[in-house]
Structure 1
């Protein structure tokens, strides 16, 4: 039976007449079911939670229908929703935080970091057999996680200007004290002790503020991928979910067998992958997306993005085939590479007709138009 997956997606709420984000989550959420749609730190953002799925087809149907419901509910209010790492046009200090005691504490403690948290992500949960296996698998996956960031990158613009990065969202996210690549832990108890220590030190208020690129869920036996930008096209999310499930399954099998997974002998061991390399690989992915070099975990050298992505695809082919996902994911990867990724697509529109049309494209693609 395939390992189960679930997805959380965050969406910017924009005024359709101006293309600017607006603090309208409360009015929008009043018209939507509580189970699926929830608040976020900023009132200009709404989050959706998928059901748990065994297949990519059912996941895609769920995500597409949820996006459509969200868009159709927003439209009569003069609002649009868009899945992108960051809104192309916005101004800091003009939006409101969600009025809860937790978010009020965050705004006070983290000041400008929280005020400028005008970003959205796509997060994937994959079941693991138990928490000890999950936390050991996490370290094995870490070198490949930046490649998933590159596949998702959709935030080249910030405050109305081109940043030169494919994922500026990742750079914004790195300012939090518990962001970036995860460490390596021998057990779930060791991982949880680290989280408790950060809470006791008052660096974070609770386990929900662990924002690592990859983390062990605080409440269920899942690994959660957090590095990815929100993706305009639902197929990109499905592709990443399929890849991440294969990576988790492969790593958990390696933990169970007490050695490296098949085909992993040429890759660096968990202990040999230094945190400096992981941060550099993440930065490179945020900078390049799919239109430059990435760092290849196999030899730790720079190589064209398409080559590194195909290396990842082949590395986890066995797990993809076992789940019945190979044909779907390989096809979606081919399409993503052929198009150069969302950041490249958005830049092309901006260069041609400007940022207003970038917003229009994001709203249309989020709803399902191609």
Structure 2
């Protein structure tokens, strides 16, 4: 089958931010998304035009904020900030806080009601226990590609940086009240769904078309957007979508991840325009990198190339930031790219959550409420 790829301007950016609704006092998940959306539609109809900026998700405790198409990371995060303020204008009045991390630390997955839509019912019916565990939240970054033939090699380029994104964003060490020992439980949980997890890598667009055709023919999917890879092309938007990241608590962190994504895509695009190939690694190295980053986060030693050279992920990130700095200047996201250094200096979400839990005698309610506070207030200037 032939899959069209929508026209898109190279390296434009869009962001998606999944967040949970939690009780402002105890931090437990609350299933109030339909009520929040109903009030939002009445009070902020501008958010629900032809392309709604706030969506309901699989679970009734979840909202997703979606931006329009922007040229710069700053514009995209400002867009998210406007939607976030609108949501708060509702949730503050009903005793609800907002929380974004890879998972909720203690709420029981089996107790979370599912949104009443046919596609979600079908997903749960098919996936059973695994589907009912998906109390997870993420951040997705779309970057525009100016031609279809760039999609698969740009995907290859981002796959090389899979562990960097995972380590920076890892924020799901706890699951159902237990410390899993992992930096990102979400990374390993989400890949249990059909078509989720690491992408297959094809040398050209025809290979992707053949894969989609097989998935449709065998009934694995009904629509292309049911391919839930961690990194995937999105033909209807003309983008590559980076879906690796756990939920993030601040717009600063989202901006940093957005800048890294945008710069890596632009770098790969320039290489392709110049006729240079994108290096790839064997799939077994890619798979190992995912596990290492999920397990060890910013302490992961990652595989860099097909020759199996290795380096601490934070060391390679520091080198990558410097290499990408000129591109970031061109794209207007230099300050956001250097915000990655703040994440490495302060620690990622999983490290912060464990510190809070230890300081409160293992009380995970304190973890949720601290993440909610951070999401509301951001970092203090001394910590930024």
Q: TM-score under structure 2 normalisation? A: 0.88
Q: 5+ unaligned residues in a row in structure 2: which ranges?
A: 1-8, 41-46, 380-384
1:352 aligns with 2:359: yes
**Which residue does the alignment assign to 2:44?**
none
**Which residue does the alignment assign to 2:288?**
280
Shift of 1:275: 1.0
Distance 1:72 1:362 in 2: 19
**Which residue does the alignment assign to 1:62?**
79
CA RMSD of aligned residues (A): 1.9
Q: 5+ unaligned residues in a row in structure 1: which ranges?
A: 262-268
Question: Which whole-Å deviations, capped at 9, do the CAs of 1:295-341 have from their partners, x for residues lacking one?
Answer: 334864443232021132234333223213234412x1221111011
Bigger shift: 249-258 or 209-218? 249-258
Distance 1:183 1:44 in 2: 32
SS at match of 2:212: helix
Distance 2:69 2:263 in 1: 16
Distance 1:255 1:183 in 2: 20
Among candidates 129, 141, 149, match of residue 124 of structure 1: 141
Among candidates 372, 376, 380, match of residue 363 of structure 1: 372
Distance 1:336 1:23, change over 3 A: same
Does the CA contact (< 8 Å) of 1:174 and 1:180 recur in 2?
yes
Question: Which whole-Å deviations, capped at 9, do the CAs of 1:180-224 have from their partners, x for residues lacking one?
Answer: 222222332321321231122122332122111110003121000
Shift of 1:292: 4.2
Among candidates 22, 28, 32, match of residue 36 of structure 2: 28
Distance 1:242 1:299 in 2: 28
Among candidates 23, 29, 39, match of residue 15 of structure 1: 23
Shift of 1:6: 0.5
**Which residue does the alignment assign to 1:295?**
303
1:134 aligns with 2:151: yes
Q: TM-score under structure 1 normalisation? A: 0.92
Does the CA contact (< 8 Å) of 1:135 and 1:186 recur in 2?
yes
Does the CA contact (< 8 Å) of 2:157 and 2:265 recur in 1?
no
Shift of 1:367: 2.3
Distance 1:300 1:20 in 2: 44
1:6 aligns with 2:14: yes
Does the CA contact (< 8 Å) of 2:10 and 2:145 recur in 1?
no
SS at match of 2:161: helix
Does the CA contact (< 8 Å) of 1:139 and 1:183 recur in 2?
no
1:1-370 matches, cutoff 5 A = 3-32=11-40, 33-34=47-48, 35-260=52-277, 269-270=279-280, 273-297=281-305, 300-330=308-338, 332-353=339-360, 354-370=363-379
**Which residue does the alignment assign to 1:266?**
none
SS at match of 1:303: strand
Shift of 1:27: 0.8
Distance 1:275 1:95 in 2: 35
Distance 2:273 2:349 in 1: 37
Counting matched residue pairs gives 360
